[in-house]
Structure formats: structure tokens, C-alpha cells
Amino acid sequence: MNPSAPKTNPIATVESLDHEGHGVARYEGKTIFIDGGLPFETITFSSYRKKPSFENAQAITIHNDSFMRVKPKCPHFGVCGGCSMQHMEFGAQVAAKQRILEDNLRRIGKVSAESMLPAIYGQAWGYRSRGRLSARYVAKKEQVLVGFHERRSGFIADMRECHVLPKSMSDQLLPLRELISALSIVNDMPQIELAVGENVTVLVFRVMTDINDADLALFKAYADRWQVQIWLQPKGPDSAYPLYPLDAPALTYSLPEFGIEMPFKPTEFTQVNYAINRVMVARAMSLLDPQPGEIIADMFCGLGNFTLPIARSGAKVLGMEGSKQLVERALEGAIHNQLDHLTSYEIANLFEMTEEWLDKLGRFDKMLIDPPRDGAMALCQSISIEHGPKRIVYVSCSPATLARDADILVNVKGYTLKNAGVINMFPHTAHVESIAWFEKE
């Protein structure tokens, strides 16, 4: 071989998708993760990260398009880190997520569900009612950028439109740049949190220094022009306060099937996709099937997204949650919906749950678990084999930790995994939300 001959890029065929939506191929004994590669495509690739057993690569030429391939709707796709699956047909995305869930349950959890639930999915675009945009003056571009981060860097993507945000928010991406450029605190305003509620849209500006009168006038003009309420956040999330207008309606989302309206503050956790959240809560309730008189635990209850629908059935619910602020909101929500006589809440670090502690809380007929990505290992390990709840509905944002916890519930605690399925809460991203029903026969 002539060492001075020009090096040609290697070619491989994608066999599957990994859990982040990369095409997985094999080349010379190594696993190659190809950005944007889809199963059955033969791709000339170039690696940008090489490790002894795997490489990360970008596609140079795709020689045969997969039947799943579609033209991405967003011009920023590929650069912006917000989406990773827009090149894949919407239904195929859902199917891929269902496969990822099944694969995790089998491989990590060593369990399989008696049946798989039909996937929950809804609108493909404009679904993201919550978001955190970064803002920065970029000297090289001589302008302020406002947006999500780029895929493989800490830089802010030069976002001019965004199709997963509601149109009313996408339309503000460029006006927000103008607003921030004009502020005296342009270099001390790194982030904007947005919350689109049913009756109001709130923009929370993280401010590192005080604003002056001219800034206040600019904020007021912006709020009037775009019909939003502006909040400032000088320190942590609970320091956020409304700036203008002060008479805007409160932020809320609703669960009409259960006659529930949830008030919340813009820096508090709520599910990002309200339409899918409604279907998810309804599915969780049909699996949990709460009955009047039952005693039910809602673990990682947040502001009561599941607690209140459970209480609406007439069951008594104990909600446990790590955030004091969310528990305060949950208490308010229970009163607002006249369900405080059936609900109680405790602030607790559930990652430190023990068998004795859970035992002291008393017996539960049923339990709902909706943990963060880390899952609920300590809680699952603490469930008593003899007198644990007869039914557990587990809502998960990480199939890997759901599978790990399913292993404990099924193979240690003796539950049966009745069924499981995905919820496409975040279309076009690789994020897999899922739900699983465990039963003690």
C-alpha cells in the first residue's frame, strides 16, 4: 500500500439505532455511532472521536436513503442540540422508542412485559410549552444569540425559528435578541426560562445585576408588544418574581378529564407537553384504577400532577417530593381543586428511602412512582415483599433506570410486569418517556 495515497473515508451499513438516535454500524471490529444514520443505510463516514472499541462519526455520503428518512423541517437541525431525530419519519421515531424500551427491559431488567401498551403520541410540532433558552453576546458575530446549545459544543445555536416551540415563542426568538442587545445588563443576563400557560405566557429573565429605569421601560414595551408577562430571577429559581404586568392571570394547565386546574410558578417543574401530559395522566389512572377508600402513595409527586387525579377518584393520597417549593404548590393546588381533605404531602429525599421509613408510613394499596432520570432504586429496594402495595404504576423518563428498577420489582420483590409502553412526550428528540404497570398477584 502506498502510504502517500490519499486516504478514503470508510463505508459501513447501519444495523440499528442507539438510545440517542445515532445509527449503529460495525467497521473493522469496532462499533461506529454515526450521527443521523438510519437502519439499512450504507454510509461513507468520517470519525470525529476515536476510542479503542468505538467511534463517533458524521455521515459524509448516504448511498441509499432509508424508507424512514424524511427532510428535516427545521433549518437548524444538525447544528442545534434541541432535536436529534427530525430526519426520521414521525411514526418510525415512536416505533424506535418503543424498541429502545423493550430492549432496555430485556437487557438491563431481565424482564419482559406480558403485553406492550400502544404508544401515546400527539402533535409533532409546537408542543414544547416549557423551555430554557440561553442568551449571550457573541463578539465574533457582533450580536446577541438566544437559543438552545449546539449539538456538540457549548455555543448557543444561531436559532431564528424553532418548530418544537409554540409559534408564538418561535416568533420571539429574533425580537428577544433585539431586546437583550438594548439592555444595560446585556452581559449579565444569561438565560430565559419560558412557560406558556393556558392564559398567559411568562418569560423569566435570569439577571445577575440590577436593571435600570431604561431597562424597565424596554421590558414593559416588550411585554405589551408580545402579550407576555416578564419575571426577573436574581438568584435561585425561588427568587423569581413578576416584573410586568402585575395583573396578568396566573400560570395554569388543566386536566379536564379530572376537573383539575393546576396553578404553577414559571420556574417550577411541570411536564413540557401539556397535551400529551393529559393523555399520560389518563393512562396512568386507567392502569392504577384508584378506588374510593384506597390509600395510595404518589412518589416524586411534584406539584401533584398525578396526586390530584388520584384524589378525584375518592382515594386518599400521600404525595412525597424532594422540593419544598413544589410541595407548597401541591398544597395550594389541592385547596384550589377542593381535594385537600383527600391529600397530604411530605417533603422527602426519596433517594434515601429505607424499608423502616417506608414501613412507618403505613400500608399503601397502590403506588405511583414518577422519578427523575436517576430512577427510584432505593424506593423499590425498600418495598416490603409481604405487605408492599399490590399495584405499582411507574412513569419514567429513562428506560435504563426503569429497567434497573423493574429488575428489583420483578426479580426480587415478586411483582409481575403486566404491561409497558412509551409516551412520545418530546417528538424529534431521543428522549424516551414510558409507563409500566407492576402487579402483585
397 an active-site residue? yes
Strand 42-50 versus strand 130-138 pairing type? unpaired
* Chain centre distance of CA 436: 17
One-letter amino acid identity for 367? M
Task: Count CB neighbours of 212 within 10 A.
Answer: 12
CB atoms within 10 A of CB 124: 16
Is 305 annotated as belonging to a binding site? yes
Which residue, 163 or 316, has its beta carbon nearer to ligand SF4?
163
**Where in 139-158 is the site for ligand SF4 (CB under 6 A)?**
148
Partners of residue 40 on adjacent β-strands: none
For ligand SAM, the closer CB: 240 or 303: 303
**Per annotation, catalytic residue among 111, 310, 397, 417:** 397
Number of residues that bind ligand SF4 (CB under 6 A): 11
172 is in an annotated binding site: no
Q: Which stretch binds ligand SF4 (CB under 6 A): 71-79, 222-230, 282-290, 335-343?
A: 71-79
* SS3 state at 226: helix
CB-nearer residue toward ligand SF4: 163 or 391: 163
- x/- mask, ligand SAM, residues 151-170, rule CB under 6 A, reads --------------------
Sequence-distant (≥ 6) Cβ neighbours of residue 52 within 8 angstroms: none
Which one of 113, 117, 162, 393 is in contact with ligand SF4 (CB under 6 A)?
162
Helix (H) or strand (E) run with residue 401 in it: helix 399-407
| Contact positions with ligand SAM (CB under 6 A) in 222-281 | 269-271
If one asks whether residue 323 binds ligand SAM (CB under 6 A), the answer comes out as yes
**CA within 13 Å, CB half, 84:** 22
* Helix or strand (DSSP H, E) at 233: strand 229-233
Bridge partners (DSSP) listed for residue 274: none
Q: Answer yes or no whether residue 90 interacts with ligand SAM by CB under 6 A.
A: no
Cell of 215: 431597562
- From the list 76-84, 137-145, 272-280, 296-304, the region that binds ligand SF4 by CB under 6 A is 76-84
Active site residues: 397
Q: Which residues are documented as binding site?
A: 74, 80, 83, 162, 271, 300, 305, 321, 349, 370
Q: Which residues are documented as binding site for S-adenosyl-L-methionine?
A: 271, 300, 305, 321, 349, 370
